């Protein structure tokens, strides 16, 4: 029986965010070892759940997992503490026959900007050149040659919103177990495109990307093809690796791997103009909401995309909705100070709050408004259906529901930043998502997996902020050149 280790180190680092990702942020999300790792992920829709299920018949060695909600770059001390801990635990778990690693691909440490490459390379150095390593990646990763060199095979999620994480975990486990049984010998080839795919264009359900994935699916009909992946890239990590890439894995056929990767490269490059964003200003979006009065809308706040590391306390769309008296509407805002202020009064009290705009100056000013306190909540909820991120347990901290007095707007104030990946965020606080005509979700594509059960229309709104969809507004200092669309001549 093969001894297979499981490791995970998952973080999406936004280098345009002022607040660093401290060790405390990992503590607030996931730090688990041994049996606790199995208990947390075995029944989840996460890739680690796929690892566990796919390793039936092998001896699973659950080494450790670290994950934090996207935020700023990781300080050197925090990164080294985490990596050295996982290295130490891996060393103690040896001998191993193979490793499955859930990585991300867009982690950035202050001293190691290709943080995933750093982590995977150090694991490879520890276990030696012969032990098979198969890793999963988020397609929002910025692939590096170090990641490719460190692993025998890489596979990235094929959907955005990410609904196939469990399937990719199963795939990774199958590749590893077949490798150990000598049924296959994986060889891998990567191609790096000089291209940034705008975040607004990264939905895999839309024609410009769907066509690329259809090509990728056809490639897998070749019996020598094991896997292929498209890395869409993460434009909010200002690193030389930032941009799109493709990976192909074959059974001991390097020429086929190169051919597959080149075909995907060419298909993406030929469609590069279609990969640039469609940017809708706030007022234009609200004009459409008012014009199509019979539809229920979800307004996606791209500049304050919590899943991309943003502040979660942007106020611009909420203020504009209130000024136009469009509603009933809903917005969630991270504001522990306002939560604490509400806790000083009782349900039914009218109170003046200064909401949001407190993390930085990028996402709108603090918003003064009169509200009625409606209810208090502990902020914990679960999700048992496939949703973006594969997360089952959420904790947004003590939360309060308030309603503005001058227009029909409901605001959920939280004391922790929370990604809008589950409608249970609302229902756990006694809110009926179907009771609102407009719901604001601080994301781009991830919220769709949940919110399309409620909303007929989605508008991606070009708001300013640390996740602004207009890449020309971001101050890049480390990106490579040339890189389309910044440079047009190659």
Read off the pLDDT of residues 431-487 as tens digits, 9 standing for 90 and up: 999 999 999 999 999 999 999 999 999 999 999 999 999 999 999 999 999 999 999
Condensed to tens digits (0 to 9), the pLDDT of residues 211-220 reads 999 999 999 9
The pLDDT, as a whole number, for residue 406 is 79
The pLDDT, as a whole number, for residue 110 is 96
Statement to judge: residues 185 and 108 lie in one domain: yes
For the segment 112-136, the average pLDDT, to the nearest whole number, is 98
- Confidence band, pLDDT 50/70/90 cuts, at residue 18: confident
In a domain, 482, yes or no: no
Statement to judge: residues 11 and 144 lie in one domain: yes
Distance between CA atoms of residues 431 and 429, nearest Å: 6
Structure tokens at 184: 């296959």
Statement to judge: residues 44 and 161 lie in one domain: yes
Phi-psi region at 128: left, alpha or beta (left = phi > 0; alpha = psi -120 to 50): left
In a domain, 481, yes or no: no
In a domain, 319, yes or no: yes
Statement to judge: residues 62 and 149 lie in one domain: yes
Which residue, 259, 275, 291, sits at the end of a domain? 275
In a domain, 261, yes or no: yes
Residue 407 predicted with pLDDT over 80? no
For the segment 385-389, the average pLDDT, to the nearest whole number, is 90
In a domain, 486, yes or no: no
Total domains, the chain: 2
What is the sign of the dihedral through the CA atoms of 72, 427, 400 and 290? positive
Which residue, 275, 290, 325, sits at the end of a domain? 275
List of residues 6+ apart from 292 with CB closer than 8 A: 457
- Confidence band, pLDDT 50/70/90 cuts, at residue 63: very high
Condensed to tens digits (0 to 9), the pLDDT of residues 231-273 reads 999 999 999 999 999 999 999 999 999 999 999 999 999 999 9
In a domain, 12, yes or no: yes
For the segment 136-147, the average pLDDT, to the nearest whole number, is 98
Per the document, the length of the chain is: 490
The pLDDT, as a whole number, for residue 89 is 98
Q: What is the mean pLDDT of the chain?
A: 97
- Confidence band, pLDDT 50/70/90 cuts, at residue 489: confident
The structure's pTM equals: 0.96
Residue 490 predicted with pLDDT over 90? no
In a domain, 214, yes or no: yes
Statement to judge: residues 270 and 286 lie in one domain: no
Residue-range definition of the domain harbouring residue 414: 282-469
Which residue, 225, 258, 275, sits at the end of a domain? 275
The pLDDT, as a whole number, for residue 100 is 98
- Confidence band, pLDDT 50/70/90 cuts, at residue 159: very high
Statement to judge: residues 271 and 287 lie in one domain: no
For the segment 393-397, the average pLDDT, to the nearest whole number, is 96
The pLDDT, as a whole number, for residue 157 is 98
Statement to judge: residues 83 and 171 lie in one domain: yes
Statement to judge: residues 147 and 222 lie in one domain: yes
Statement to judge: residues 305 and 348 lie in one domain: yes
Condensed to tens digits (0 to 9), the pLDDT of residues 333-374 reads 999 999 999 999 999 999 999 999 999 888 888 999 999 999
The pLDDT, as a whole number, for residue 360 is 87
Q: Which of 394, 464, 467 is nearest to 427 (CA)?
A: 394
Condensed to tens digits (0 to 9), the pLDDT of residues 302-334 reads 999 999 999 999 999 999 999 999 989 999 999
Statement to judge: residues 232 and 289 lie in one domain: no
Statement to judge: residues 298 and 260 lie in one domain: no
The pLDDT, as a whole number, for residue 6 is 98
Q: Secondary structure of the chain in the HEC alphabet?
A: CCEEEEEEEECCECCCCCCCCCHHHHHHCEEEECHHHHHHHCCCCCHHHHHHHHCCCCEEEEEEEEECCCECCECHHHHHHHHHHHHHHHHHHCCCCEEEEECCCCCCECCCCCHHHHHHHHHHHHHCCCCCEEEEECCCCCCCHHHHHHCCEEEECCCCCCCCHHHHHHHHHHHHHHHHCCCCCEEEEEEECCECCCHHHCCCCCHHHHHHHHHHHHHCCCCCEEEEEEECCCCCCCCCCCCCEEEEEEECCHHHHHHHHHHHHHHHHHCHHHHCCCCECHHHHHHHHHHCCCCCEEEEEHHHCHHHCCCCCCCHHHHHHHHHCCCCEEEEEECHHHHHHHCCCCCCCEEEEEECCCCCCCCCCCEEEEEEEEEEECCEEECCCCCHHHCCEEECCCEEEEEECCCCEEEEEECCCCCCCCCHHHHCCCCCHHHCCEEEECCCCCCHHHHCCCCCEEEEECCCCCCCCCHHHCCCCCCCCCCECCCCCC
Residue 169 predicted with pLDDT over 90? yes
In a domain, 484, yes or no: no
Statement to judge: residues 363 and 263 lie in one domain: no
């Amino acid at each position: 029986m093969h001894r297979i280790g499981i490791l995970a180190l998952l973080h999406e680092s936004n280098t345009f965010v002022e607040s660093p990702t401290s060790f405390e942020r990992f503590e607030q999300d996931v730090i688990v070892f041994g049996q606790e790792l199995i208990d947390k992920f075995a029944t989840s829709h996460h890739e680690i759940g796929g690892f566990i299920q796919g390793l039936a018949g092998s001896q699973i060695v659950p080494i450790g997992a670290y994950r934090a909600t996207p935020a700023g770059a990781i300080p050197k001390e925090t990164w080294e503490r985490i990596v050295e801990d996982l290295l130490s635990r891996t060393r103690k778990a040896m001998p191993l026959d193979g490793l499955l690693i859930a990585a991300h691909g867009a982690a950035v440490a202050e001293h190691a900007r290709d943080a995933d490459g750093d982590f995977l390379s150090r694991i490879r150095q520890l276990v030696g050149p012969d032990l098979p390593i198969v890793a999963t990646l988020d397609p929002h990763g910025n692939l590096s040659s170090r990641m490719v060199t460190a692993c025998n095979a890489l596979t990235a999620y094929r959907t955005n919103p990410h609904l196939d994480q469990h399937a990719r975990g199963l795939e990774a486990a199958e590749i590893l177990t077949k490798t150990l049984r000598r049924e296959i010998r994986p060889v891998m080839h990567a191609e790096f495109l000089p291209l940034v795919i705008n975040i607004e264009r990264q939905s895999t359900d839309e024609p410009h990307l769907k066509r690329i994935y259809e090509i990728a699916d056809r490639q897998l009909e070749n019996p020598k093809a094991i896997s292929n992946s498209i890395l869409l890239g993460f434009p909010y990590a200002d690193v030389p690796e930032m941009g799109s890439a493709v990976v192909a894995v074959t059974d001991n056929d390097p020429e086929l791997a190169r051919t597959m990767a080149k075909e995907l490269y060419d298909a993406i490059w030929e469609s590069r103009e279609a990969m640039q964003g469609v940017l809708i200003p706030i007022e234009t979006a609200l004009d459409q909401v008012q014009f199509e009065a019979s539809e229920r809308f979800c307004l996606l706040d791209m500049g304050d995309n919590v899943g991309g590391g943003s502040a979660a306390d942007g106020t611009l769309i909420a203020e504009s909705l209130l000024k136009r008296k469009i509603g009933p509407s809903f917005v969630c805002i991270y504001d522990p100070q306002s939560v604490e202020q509400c806790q000083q009064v009782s349900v039914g009290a009218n109170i003046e709050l200064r909401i949001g705009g407190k993390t930085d100056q990028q996402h709108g000013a603090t918003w003064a408004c009169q509200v009625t306190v409606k209810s208090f909540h502990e902020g914990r909820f679960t999700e048992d259906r496939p949703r973006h991120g594969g997360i089952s347990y959420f904790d947004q901290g003590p939360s309060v529901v308030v309603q503005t007095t001058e227009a029909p707007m409901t605001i959920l104030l939280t004391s922790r930043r929370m990604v809008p990946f589950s409608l249970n965020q609302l229902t756990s606080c006694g809110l009926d998502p179907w009771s609102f005509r407009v719901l604001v979700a601080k994301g781009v594509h991830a919220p769709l997996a949940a919110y399309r059960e409620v909303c007929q229309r989605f508008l991606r709104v070009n708001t300013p902020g640390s996740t602004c969809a207009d890449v020309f507004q971001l101050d890049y200092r480390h990106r490579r050149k040339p890189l389309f669309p910044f440079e047009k001549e190659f």
